[in-house]
């Protein structure tokens, strides 16, 4: 791993070679809001391509999502991407949300079908007057606001409801044909599965960037439960890294940073240069991993120093 870190530093990875984005969820309480904004302030100097704010099941966080996105626009220089789902709302209601984001200045939406109202694992039922699938939502956003960038979801191990790979790829292709410009994957821990998915997507004629979703494991037990529901496998070697650390938070955090950095460096070695981090509203692990990648806070002095270098010097 040290050899990979040294190679990344020599090649200027982070200074000009990598793009990162961060995902947050809207806070429920004042304490959670304080944690969120502390994390945003910690990560903002790394100059992410964008930061996304999630949207609760059935639109349950609609107001809080909008408030968080609006505050990011007003108080930071970050580019927010607002999540939006089809669940629990009519077309008119969703269109109004999209229009509201556009009026606020949001120029990026993460368009999702959303989980069933009753939770993951139950049968999905579209709203009788709503958009049935993410591709329908993408079409509507693109028609109403062609200036808005649209990201969509992708699944390196197939969506739990996809009966086969053809179903999975057909669904992603519909979203691309409707106007999506980027796909972000559900988190995964086996990079070979992601590489195989990229090959399948390319063979299906899908050419938009498919950005790997990366989750640092803050709590292995909780992550494992969510992974099971989301259809993300956990390799035995990965689980073994966290054995015996249930009551050792400090060591668990060190291991989590090392494991996540190892995964990201392997992806860099495979040619990946863009990452989407699921932060869980916590900055420390994500910041540490970005630091290992060679990324540094973008200060005025650093910008001047980089501008003084030739393109070859920045990456050579």
Please state, as a whole number, how many other Cβ atoms lie within 10 Å of the Cβ of residue 313.
12
Residue 275 located in a structural domain: yes
The number of CA neighbours under 13 Å toward the Cβ of 145 is 21
Provide the pLDDT confidence category of residue 238 given band limits of 50, 70 and 90. Answer: very high
Domain assignment present for 101: yes
- What range defines the domain where residue 263 resides? 19-292
Residue 306 lies inside a defined structural domain of this protein: no
C-alpha span between 166 and 204 (Å, rounded): 9
Question: For residue 9, is it within any domain?
Answer: no
Residue 32 lies in a domain: yes
The lowest-confidence range among 32-36, 122-126, 209-213 is: 122-126
SS3 307: helix
In a domain, 59, yes or no: yes
Stretch 114-121: mean pLDDT: 72
* pLDDT at residue 165 is higher than 80: yes
Quote the CA–CA distance of 235 and 241 in Å, as a whole number.
Answer: 10
Asked, for residue 245, whether it belongs to a domain, the answer is yes
Quick one: pLDDT band at residue 10, thresholds 50, 70, 90? very low
Q: Measured in whole angstroms, how far is the alpha carbon of residue 169 from the centre of its chain?
A: 19
With 90 as the cut, is the pLDDT of residue 125 above it? no
In angstroms, rounded to a whole number, what is the distance separating the alpha carbons of residues 31 and 50?
Answer: 24
Give me the chain's average pLDDT, please: 88
Q: How confident is the model at residue 88 (pLDDT cuts 50, 70, 90)?
A: confident
Q: Which has the closest alpha carbon to 174: 147, 150, 149?
A: 150
- Out of 120-134, 142-156, 194-208, 216-230, pick the least confident: 120-134
Average pLDDT of 22-42?
95
Q: Catalytic: 41?
A: no
Report the CATH number that the domain containing residue 202 is assigned in CATH: 3.20.20.220
pLDDT higher than threshold 80 for residue 11 = no
Assess if residue 307 is contained within a domain.
no
Give CA–CA dist 121/162, Å, rounded. 12
- Please give the tally of structural domains in the chain: 1
Whether 7 shows a pLDDT value over 90: the answer reads: no
Choice among 3, 23, 243, 262 that is catalytic: 23
pTM as predicted: 0.88
121's torsion region: left (phi>0), alpha (psi -120 to 50) or beta? left
Contact 262, 1 (CB under 8 A): yes
Question: How far apart are alpha carbons 113 and 115 in whole angstroms?
Answer: 7
The pLDDT of residue 299 is 65
């Amino acid at each position: 791993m040290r050899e990979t870190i040294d190679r990344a530093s020599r090649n200027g990875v982070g200074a000009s070679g990598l793009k990162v984005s961060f995902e947050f969820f809207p806070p429920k309480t004042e304490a959670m809001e304080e944690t969120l904004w502390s994390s945003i302030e910690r990560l903002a100097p790394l100059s992410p391509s964008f930061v996304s704010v999630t949207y609760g099941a059935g639109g349950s966080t609609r107001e809080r999502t909008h408030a968080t996105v609006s505050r990011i626009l007003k108080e930071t220089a970050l580019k927010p991407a607002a999540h939006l789902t089809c669940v629990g709302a009519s077309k008119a209601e969703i269109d109004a949300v999209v229009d509201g984001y556009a009026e606020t200045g949001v120029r990026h939406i993460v368009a999702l079908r959303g989980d069933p109202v009753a939770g993951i694992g139950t049968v999905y039922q579209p709203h009788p007057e709503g958009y049935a699938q993410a591709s329908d939502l993408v079409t509507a956003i693109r028609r109403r606001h062609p200036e808005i960038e649209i990201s969509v979801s992708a699944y390196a191990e197939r969506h739990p409801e996809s009966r086969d790979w053809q179903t999975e790829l057909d669904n992603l292709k519909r979203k691309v044909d409707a106007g999506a410009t980027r796909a972000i994957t559900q988190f995964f821990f086996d990079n070979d599965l992601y590489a195989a998915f990229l090959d399948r997507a390319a063979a299906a004629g899908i050419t938009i960037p498919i950005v790997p979703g990366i989750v640092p494991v803050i709590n292995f037990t909780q992550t494992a439960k969510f992974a099971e529901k989301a259809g993300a496998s956990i390799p035995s070697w990965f689980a073994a890294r966290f054995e015996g650390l249930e009551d050792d938070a400090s060591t668990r955090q060190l291991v989590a940073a090392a494991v996540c950095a190892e995964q990201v460096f392997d992806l860099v070695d495979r040619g990946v240069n863009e990452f989407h981090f699921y932060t869980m509203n916590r900055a420390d692990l994500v910041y540490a991993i970005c630091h290992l990648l060679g990324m540094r806070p973008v200060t005025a002095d650093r910008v001047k120093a980089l501008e003084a270098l030739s393109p070859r010097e920045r990456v050579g």
